[in-house]
Amino acid sequence: MTTTLVSAQERMQLARDASRSVGLMTDAAKADLLRRIADAIDAEVARIVAANAEDLARGHEAGISEGLLDRLRLDEVRVSALAAAVRDVAELPDPVGRLLDERTLPNGLLLQKVSVPFGVVGSIYEARPNVTVDIAALALRAGNAVVLRGGSAAQSSNAALIDVMRGALAAAGVDPEAIQTVDDFGREGARALMRARGLVDVLVPRGSAQLIETVVTESSVPVIETGAGVVHIMLDETAPLDWATDIVVNAKVQRPSVCNAVETVLVHEGAAERLIPTVVTALQERGVTVHGDDTVQRLATDVVPVVDADWATEHMSLDVSVKVVADLDEALGHIRTYSTHHTESIITEDDANAERFLAEVDSAVVMVNASTRFTDGGEFGFGAEVGISTQKLHARGPMGLPELTTTKWLARGNGQIRG
């Protein structure tokens, strides 16, 4: 089935209209719809892989990097994984209809605060076609319609995936306009989406810091910022050597290209000689380039001199910056200056310092003696992740399905008037 050629504005109005019926679907109907979407993705794997081949060919011609091509690529295994992820979302508990507060006023008026769908969720994101399916599935599971704006590099893949999903909606008797794209309107589509206040209830940007900055600045639709992670680990004076080494290595090496990977390690000067040689060597043995200040250069070999810009950089690579600090105050000051408020961790055996760190660091997730890689919806047990919010409004940290709902107060009376 082909999307009718109407304006981006009209598409969003169609999504808004569709959101009314989707918002009233039962838990079972929504779960069933997601399973049908997964089945349709499996059934249409050849078509999806063929569409993806077009994107890959264009990408090759345009000379985009092998890393980006890999993120763009969909083979049969990856398409199957996409369908499986949708089936996982189907199994999650319905986030709609939760009773969040209840009170009866002295006059007998019963007030209930319940979770309800937002209505229409928008997302602007970059090359990865899996986001197209993830966001659509999560939005629908929470009773929302969705308007998608993916990167132009994945345009053919996204068009095929959206067409397959819309077909599954139609086959299930659900208004297919509940999944919309504004991809075919190019940049104007993105602009229309950012200005669709009243039609789109919330906009979730996913991608580079630049993309997110653009959306935050230009959008009049409320945004949930899923920001970059300039993530810090502080090795306190009492940090055990094994925890320090294992946690820093895990936080940097296990998956360096993600937002919860560590970028800067701050080392208490009272522990520098004890910790730095071992930690730096362990990192280097796993291919990490260590950028360090004078002390780090003195205590370890093959250390690249750190420059000021490094402190504010999310490397997304096997690079880490290391700084020696006089004390916890200096570490907290450094974090205040450079943190993107995502995740920070302290390694310490000093309970007072641990509690101070937990209380004073202003980030979505603040840890003691654990790897920053745990900041993840899957690890937190949410079953699926919409993104990791680095803002303070509505959602902070890993966002699961409940964060794709809003609330409504229901008031049931029998003639009450205000005195």
Among residues 48 and 328, whose Cβ is nearest to a second copy? 328
Q: Establish if 109 lies at the interface with a second copy (CB under 8 A).
A: yes
Phi, psi of 135, deg, nearest 5: -65, -40
Residues 30, 140 contacting (CB under 8 angstroms): yes
Q: Establish if 410 lies at the interface with a second copy (CB under 8 A).
A: yes
Instruction: Give the one residue of 220, 286, 305, 307 binding a second copy; rule: CB under 8 A.
Output: 220
8-state DSSP, 42: H
DSSP secondary structure string, 153-210?
Answer: GGHHHHHHHHHHHHHHHHHTTS-GGGEEE-GGGHHHHHHHHHT-BTTBSEEEEES-HH
159 to each of 14, 17, 144, 153, how far by Cα in Å? 18, 22, 20, 12
Which tokens belong to 374? 């745990």
Among residues 104 and 301, whose Cβ is nearest to a second copy? 104
Residues, the chain = 419
In sequence order, the β-bridge partners of residue 123 are 148, 204
Which tokens belong to 156? 């053919």
Among residues 99 and 411, whose Cβ is nearest to a second copy? 411
Among residues 232 and 373, whose Cβ is nearest to a second copy? 373
Q: Establish if 409 lies at the interface with a second copy (CB under 8 A).
A: yes
Instruction: Give the one residue of 93, 222, 287, 305 binding a second copy; rule: CB under 8 A.
Output: 222
Q: At closest approach, how far in Å is the CB of 11 from a second copy?
A: 19
Among residues 44 and 314, whose Cβ is nearest to a second copy? 314
Binders in 278-307 for a second copy, by CB under 8 A? none
Residues 341, 363 contacting (CB under 8 angstroms): yes
Among residues 298 and 392, whose Cβ is nearest to a second copy? 392
23 Cβ neighbours under 8 A, 6+ residues apart: 96, 116, 117, 119, 143, 144
Q: Establish if 367 lies at the interface with a second copy (CB under 8 A).
A: yes
Instruction: Give the one residue of 88, 246, 330, 350 binding a second copy; rule: CB under 8 A.
Output: 246
- Residues near a second copy (CB under 8 A) are 20, 24, 103, 105, 109, 111, 113, 118-119, 197, 201-202, 216-217, 220, 222-224, 240, 242-243, 246-247, 249-251, 254, 345, 354, 358-360, 362-371, 373-375, 379-381, 391-394, 396-397, 406-418
